[in-house]
Structure 1
Amino acid sequence: MNLFRGVQDRRHAKKMQEQLEVIESELMEHLRFASPVADAPARYLMAAGGKRIRPMLTLLTSELGSGPNPLVRRAAQAVEMTHLASLYHDDVMDDAKLRRGVPAAQTVWSNSVAILAGDLLFARASSLVSGMGEEAILLQARTFERLCLGQLHETVGPQEGDEPIPHYLQVLADKTGALIATAARMGVMFGDAPAEYADPVMEYGERIGVAFQLIDDVIDLSPKKEQTGKRAGTDLRAGVATLPLLLLREQAAAGDAEAQALVASIEAGVARIEAGEDPSILDPEVEALRDHAVTRETEETARRWAKDAVEALDVLPKSPVKRALGRMAESIVDREG
């Protein structure tokens, strides 16, 4: 995903890419620990790669002001480190086997080591932010709180009186949107951009974060393993209720016989997998859900969130950066992996 396409000219885009490479290099240094017991697991997921959406967004929004500088790069590193830390915890809680094409950290070491590695990264991210002023410290703390609340709400599920779909969208906003929003705001803050841009780019960031996760729900059902890097229906087989399944359940509750039959078949298959049967028993249901209208509805929902994200930028003046942010929203919903 090249977010720098369309940023002024090729020379400027190259400059931005070079800034990202500096961030990568400095981030690896910040992740080094004197103790070899801590060093290897702490740098493990960083070394596995990633899209680096958050630091790229920080660089882009800094261009609304004076552009990248040491504080902008430091903010981008703190945000990406916070993201990496959350992945260690997510994989333990989800019992994930793979992350970014490599075995999840807890499968290489243990749950305890993976959790502590995540904690170390959270601590390092806080150290980076601590010298950047009270506003940055407060923003980091509030973002961390939302990450935790999102994970907690996902773990316990909707409570009595909660509507499952709004609950799910709020979890996505907290777990993913909040940190992307912070990445966007950090660029404005430390790139010395006009203060009135801070809230719009933050709204933009949160909305593209939700759109990103909704497209992930569609991609989870894709049979194109070479593009997605995982088996079709990984979430479904693990009993994770993504938006296509939630929409299907809604139709079933409304009396749709076809939806009722597919929901029952999915739930029976998941129960058999949990009892130790081969996950392939759910292949027909994965295909059926992929071809069902609810998956197209999920994709359209993602596109609406991306469109609303771009509309949040209306206050920004026309510029190559604004166009690049628009293309970023498009690329998020058009991706296949």
Structure 2
Amino acid sequence: MGDLQARLANGLAAVETHLRQVITSDEPFITEAAAHLLNAGGKRFRPMLVLVCSEYGDPDHPHVVPAGSAVELTHLATLYHDDVMDEATMRRGAVTANRRWDNSLAILVGDFLFAHASEVTSTLGPEAVGVQARTFARLVKGQVRETIGPRDDEDPLRHYLSVVADKTGSLIATSAYYGAHLSGASPEVVTTVTEFGERIGVAFQLSDDVIDIASNSDDSGKTPGTDLREGVPTLPTLLARRSTAPADAELVRALSAPITDDAEVAQVLAALRVHPAMDEARAYVQAESDAARGLLVGLPAGEATDALHELCDRLASRNT
């Protein structure tokens, strides 16, 4: 695994350099605003997955690093737009762009990043452009469905899980696809890692839902209790809202609308942390992680497959 770690470190450094080249504009403000979230850090999970999956083919293929840059630009663009939609004030421990400047500028910077993600993707060939377009469509569909909420005849939990698949799973699946496909991996490997990417992406988002409730610290870099304050559903809250126990009536009522009072947010968080819904949510995450891990049996043995197994292990450890 040591050799792979060194290659991944070098690859991520190359992606970082490429990202900064791409977002540089002849308008200094655009460069500053586009670099705002880039400078705030982040795990670079999507470029890392591109690099890992490129190991199934030629990891030195010249399209691999631009592909990693394209998926991260797309991800960053969605964060600018999401923060406007959510009226968020903090992201990755930094003030959001919409808070630092305003909503209009944050939207425009997100559009700028989407445009450059498309430009980079265009250098990867027409098939990659089609994949990017379909992924973008899923990202938008997920945001629209989250905004309008479930239909009257639709189960809220099923609706939420489909939103997570579109908003999170789709781009992570594309990351895995780009890495394997562009490096020349076999069609069987490409299909498997793409499905793995969608599964593990959904699992990580659901795990974040659990952590956002269970953790006493602000691990995500967001303002604690943001989703509760905005009435945004997450896996634990949707499961808790299903309860018909008389003792949960007040909690269910509180979770049915945005919570604006800080003291009430603290009370609801405390109640959720000891609620059976948390164990049920963890079981959902574990099931999704197990499904992702099960796909790996069809992949060639080696450092890349070991790294994907390690992703599943990390998910299991952060979900306890």
Query: In the alignment, is the contact (CA less than 8 A) between 1:232 and 1:286 conserved in 2?
Result: no
Distance in structure 2 (CA, Å) of the matches to 1:141 and 1:165: 27
Q: What RMSD, in angstroms, separates the aligned Cα atoms of the two structures? A: 1.7
Question: Is 1:78–2:70 an aligned residue pair?
Answer: yes
- 1:139-158 correspondence to structure 2 within 5 Å: 139-158=131-150
Instruction: Provide the residue aligned with 1:4 in structure 2.
Output: none
Instruction: Provide the residue aligned with 1:325 in structure 2.
Output: 308
Query: In the alignment, is the contact (CA less than 8 A) between 1:222 and 1:228 conserved in 2?
Result: no
Question: Is 1:54–2:46 an aligned residue pair?
Answer: yes
Query: In the alignment, is the contact (CA less than 8 A) between 2:76 and 2:110 conserved in 1?
Result: yes
Helix, strand or coil for the counterpart of 1:70? coil
Deviation at 1:223, TM superposition (A): 4.2
Q: Runs ≥4 in structure 1, deviation > 2 angstroms? A: 226-234, 258-261, 265-268, 332-336
Instruction: Provide the residue aligned with 1:244 in structure 2.
Output: 236
Instruction: Provide the residue aligned with 2:277 in structure 1.
Output: 294
1:216 counterpart letter in structure 2: D
Q: How many residues align?
A: 320
Given the two structures, how large is their TM-score scaled by the length of structure 1? 0.91
* CA deviation map 1:72-104 (0-9, x unaligned): 011110011000000000000001110100001
Query: In the alignment, is the contact (CA less than 8 A) between 2:92 and 2:222 conserved in 1?
Result: no
Deviation at 1:13, TM superposition (A): 1.6
- 1:45-124 correspondence to structure 2 within 5 Å: 45-124=37-116
- 1:159-308 correspondence to structure 2 within 5 Å: 159-225=151-217, 227-230=219-222, 232-252=224-244, 256-267=245-256, 270=258, 273=260, 278-308=261-291
Helix, strand or coil for the counterpart of 1:76? helix
1:103 counterpart letter in structure 2: V
* CA deviation map 1:255-309 (0-9, x unaligned): x2123232124447x45x1xxxx42232112101111110111111111111101
Percentage of pairs with the same residue: 43
Instruction: Provide the residue aligned with 1:36 in structure 2.
Output: 28
Distance in structure 2 (CA, Å) of the matches to 1:257 and 1:23: 53
Instruction: Provide the residue aligned with 1:125 in structure 2.
Output: 117
Distance in structure 2 (CA, Å) of the matches to 1:267 and 1:250: 11
Structure 2: gaps (5+ residues): none
Corresponding residue to 2:5 among 8, 13, 33: 13
2:46 counterpart letter in structure 1: R
Given the two structures, how large is their TM-score scaled by the length of structure 2? 0.95
Structure 1: gaps (5+ residues): 1-6
1:257 counterpart letter in structure 2: P
Distance in structure 1 (CA, Å) of the matches to 2:52 and 2:127: 20
